[in-house]
Amino acid sequence: MGDKVAIIHRGCGIIIDILKDLLNQYEIKYEEYCLERKKISFRELMRINSRLYNSKIILCHPINTRLIPLLKILTLIKPRKIAYIVPPDPSHRMDNYISRVIIYYTRTILTLLRSLGTKVLFIFTTPYERIYSTPLIKGFRYVYIPTYMIRDTGIKEPLHSEKPVVTFFIGEREDFLLLSHTIRVLEELGFKPRIIVNITSDEYLGCLNDYRVICIRSSEYEQLIKYSTIIVAKTPSPETNNVIAQSIIHTKPVITTMEHGLALYYRDTGLIFVLERWSGETLANSILEVLNNIDFIKKKGLALVIHELKPDYGAKILASFLE
């Protein structure tokens, strides 16, 4: 690979696009290994091992069961440096015993790699992942690199509506069950908003078979957010954190979870509404509560001065680490 950096990633979405832009700014050459929806075979392991031996690696991967065998592979490769990006992911639950076990094994393997001479830098894109990883990063360096972007898009006229528009950003098939139940509860209460669903997952999820729901799949969603009344983002991911950032900038109320790190960061804006327990009833009640106070929320939002996070400092630290 020469002086090229290897980017190995799974479940990182928009983070990788922004990371590559940052590397290009610093004229850092790289090769990309995408592990989405596939397992590493023995033959591929040998190929990667021979190419990446004693190299510099940027690893972006949720802290889950798939991470452990990948880290074991890295002990064979013995890279000089690993910059490990912890992306937002629904498996990152602080109240989950399995998560704590995975964090323990992850720390054990990273400590072994460090004893073998590998330098390790943790990179976080939101505050939540930093808090979640507290037992993991003790004794390691870490830095924040915010990775959301503001981009214009093409979705305009079709979304004008006299009804309130509730836009759901859905990343898991189970979220459709929640949506269906929520629509049913809202109708029982006599409320029929326009429902828009934007699919954030690369996996084919289909759509809810319901004439009241409009499903789209677009990573260019600024105009969609502009024409929405309320945003709902339940499942954490790099894309839904980006959605929250865009929503705050356009003063749109967001119903979400604290597992979204940017919800944690912007919680004092008055635009973040956190649900701790998700069901059709609790979500429908939250939507109605926000709509009943929408004028006050808009007025408060218009008075906000939003400080956009910048990746510049973290990018400099990463570039220096990779030298």
DSSP letter, residue 305: -
Reported as a pLDDT band with limits 50, 70 and 90, residue 44 is low
Average pLDDT score over residue span 286-313: 85
Lookup result for tokens 């990152």: 92
Across residues 35-48, what is the average pLDDT?
61
If phi over 0 gives left and psi between -120 and 50 gives alpha, with beta otherwise, what is residue 206? left
State the span(s) of the chain assigned CATH 3.40.50.2000: 157-302
Rounded to 5 degrees, φ, ψ at 97 are -65, -45
pLDDT for residue 3 is more than 60: yes
Question: Vertex 73, ends 69 and 74: CA angle to 5°?
Answer: 120
Q: What is the mean pLDDT of residues 54-67?
A: 92
Confidence of residue 309 (pLDDT cuts 50, 70, 90): confident
Return the SS3 of 169.
strand
For position 76, what pLDDT does the model report?
A: 84
Task: Tell me the pLDDT band of 56, cut-offs 50, 70 and 90.
Answer: very high
- φ, ψ for residue 65, nearest 5 deg: -65, -25
At 195, the amino acid letter reads I
The pLDDT value given to residue 303 = 79
- Whether the pLDDT of residue 158 is over 50: the answer is no
The Cα 101–Cα 203 span in angstroms is 27
Q: Return mean pLDDT, the chain.
A: 86
The whole-number pLDDT of residue 149 equals 57
Enumerate residues 6+ apart whose C-beta is below 8 A from 108. Answer: none
Half-sphere exposure of 278 (CA within 13 A, CB side): 17
Task: Please provide the CATH number assigned to the domain covering 157-302.
Answer: 3.40.50.2000
Rounded Cα distance between 242 and 254, Å, is 12
| Cα-only R_g, the chain | 21
pTM of the model: 0.85
Do the beta carbons of residue 210 and residue 173 sit within 8 Å? no
| Position 181, amino acid | H
pLDDT exceeds 70 at position 170: yes
- For residue 101, name the pLDDT band (cuts at 50, 70, 90): very high
Residue 108 has what DSSP assignment?
H
- Judged by phi (left if over 0) then psi (alpha if -120 to 50, else beta), residue 32 lies in beta
SS3 state at 152: coil
Give DSSP secondary structure letters for 190-244. Answer: T---EEEEEE--SS-------TTEEEE--S--HHHHHT-SEEEE-S--HHHHHHH
Q: What are phi and psi of 5, to 5 degrees?
A: -95, 140
Residue 161 pLDDT more than 80?
no
Q: How far apart are CA 283 and CA 256, in angstroms?
A: 10
How far apart CA 82 and CA 261 sit, in angstroms, is 23
Question: Among positive and negative, which fits the CA dihedral 160, 165, 171, 175?
Answer: negative
| Yes or no: domain 5-149+310-321 corresponds to CATH 2.30.30 | no
Q: Which residues of 94-106 are buried (b: 16+ CB within 10 A; e: fewer)?
A: eeeeebeebbeeb
